[in-house]
Amino acid sequence: MTSATIKLFLPRGDAKSLRTAEISNWTGKAVAAPRTELDELLAREELDKAGVYILIGTDPLTNAPRAYIGEAEVIRDRLKQHKAKEFWVSAIVFVSKDENLTKAHVRYLESRLLAEAATINRFTLEQNQAGGSRLPESDREDMEVFLARIRQLLPVLGSDILAPIAQPTAKAQPGGVLFCRIKGAEARGQRTANGFVIFQGSTAVLEERPSAESYPYVIAQRKQLFADGTLIEKDGFLSFTKDTEFTSPSAAAVVIHGGNANGLTSWKTKDGKSLKQLDEQAS
């Protein structure tokens, strides 16, 4: 990933409030705000321009992350139309400072953003894939550079919608891929910036342990993963259909074990060295 110097401006001095973000030598600019400051956001001159935007929130029925990705020639007018959408709690807008983004450009960006967000699958998307637009080769390259900068700014502005769940870490993890094995089930995973990821194709025990009744969160989490299709029953085990991130090694291990588990001792290298031992070696 290309290095970047980011300028983050907080008009109110509050990182949760309205804020703008720019990257050195980039013609784009981002403006983000919580829904509670929508009027202030709409009053910004940047919203007179063409651009793309992301509305972020949670599904009121499932409490799962939900997002809407859109484009407009005048962002302000389009955002006003979204007041009727209940789910979103924050908005992030991307425009060009030199006003060189055309309708065709923002349609292309919208289509690419939707495709990436759908592939990464951290958020449920409100809409289907956009039609996009045909651009000359040079314009496509320019928009791919613009998209790369959007990827860099989104985490700074509080959203991981384009961050791959199993993305490479800045530093190689000691021990490489880790394994969690129990009663024939085998899961593979590694630490991430947000916690721990279990890789697609990993398996977990089908039945919970009797002791799991003392840990209702374990049963609830497995049921949720099964309900949303992350886990499916296959060959006498539960199988992961996609890379899945958890808040910690233990939060991942309890799903594999079907009951309480210590992630520091459950996750091991292929040579049998535990995550706890790896941590002790590193200290």
- The pTM of the full predicted model, rounded to 2 decimals, is 0.76
Per-residue HEC secondary structure of the chain comes to CCCCCEEEECCCCCCCCCEEEEECCCCEEEEEEEHHHHHHHHCCHHHHCCEEEEEEEECCCCCCEEEEEEEECCHHHHHHHHHHCCCEEEEEEEEECCCCCCHHHHHHHHHHHHHHHHHHCCCEECCCCCCCCCCCHHHHHHHHHHHHHHHHHHHHCCCCCCCCCCCCCCCCCCCCCEEEEECCEEEEEEEECCEEEECCCCEEECCCCHHHHHCHHHHHHHHHHHHCCCEEEECCEEEECCCEEECCHHHHHHHHHCCCCCHHHHCECCCCCEHHHHHHHHC
Average pLDDT, the chain: 91
**pLDDT per residue as tens digits for the range 95-148:** 999 878 999 999 999 999 999 999 998 899 987 666 777 899 999 999 999 999
**pLDDT per residue as tens digits for the range 149-193:** 999 999 999 999 998 887 654 455 667 899 999 999 999 999 988
